[in-house]
Homo-oligomer: A and B are copies of this chain.
């Protein structure tokens, strides 16, 4: 090991700890993750996590933050409207098969947050933002005459969020059971027909 600066040492260690935590979360859930196992998996000792993060809670918060980076890049460049919703659906599911540890952990944490007093509020807020984005696009699309007048943006947003997360989880736990990209294209076409103004 050549000479590294303190900052480099710290950063590589922290990355290793977060990805080790993410892997363990995906494998067996957050509750069963122990600090000792995280350290061991990352190639360090049992005490490393406490040293870096101080507490398990701090580790989890760092993981949640790090995992929040969405896995649909370049969506901000599309202007608001129907097309952006359709692109979201297609690209989200198109990207699912290639996501890394942190993004997989995000999906698992999202599922576990359902009954977790700690994680629950964080992920509920995030879902609310997710739905709000979709609602905004649908409203914009309706103003522009792209979207039918009789669709309820809030209802559609709730359904789309349920679909994307639900399908991603299904693929995560049983990759052989589906081709997410194909499902994504089908879903995109499906929504185009249902939403587009005649």
Contacts and interface: CB of A to CB of B under 8 A. Distances in A.
Interface of A: 25-32, 107-108, 111-112, 114-117, 120, 124, 127-128, 152, 154-155, 158-159, 161-163, 165-167, 169-170, 172-174, 177-178, 182-183, 186-187, 190, 193-194
Contacts of A172: 114
4 tightest A-B CB contacts, nearest first: A162-B166, A31-B31, A29-B115, A166-B166
A161 B166 contact: yes
Given A27-B117, A28-B116, A114-B169, 20 more contacts: A28-B117, A29-B31, A31-B31, A31-B32, A107-B114, A108-B114, A108-B115, A111-B112, A124-B173, A124-B174, A152-B186, A155-B182, A155-B183, A158-B167, A159-B183, A159-B190, A162-B166, A162-B169, A163-B163, A190-B194
Given A29-B116, A114-B172, A163 B166 contact: yes
B170 A158 contact: yes
Contacts of A116: 28-29
Contacts of A158: 167, 170, 177-178, 183
A127 B170 contact: yes
Nearest to A24: B115
Given A159-B183, A173-B124, A194-B190, A115 B166 contact: no
B167 A159 contact: yes
26 contacts: A26-B115, A27-B115, A27-B117, A28-B117, A31-B32, A108-B114, A112-B114, A112-B115, A124-B174, A127-B170, A154-B178, A155-B186, A158-B167, A158-B170, A158-B177, A158-B183, A159-B163, A159-B183, A159-B186, A159-B187, A161-B170, A162-B166, A163-B163, A165-B166, A193-B193, A193-B194
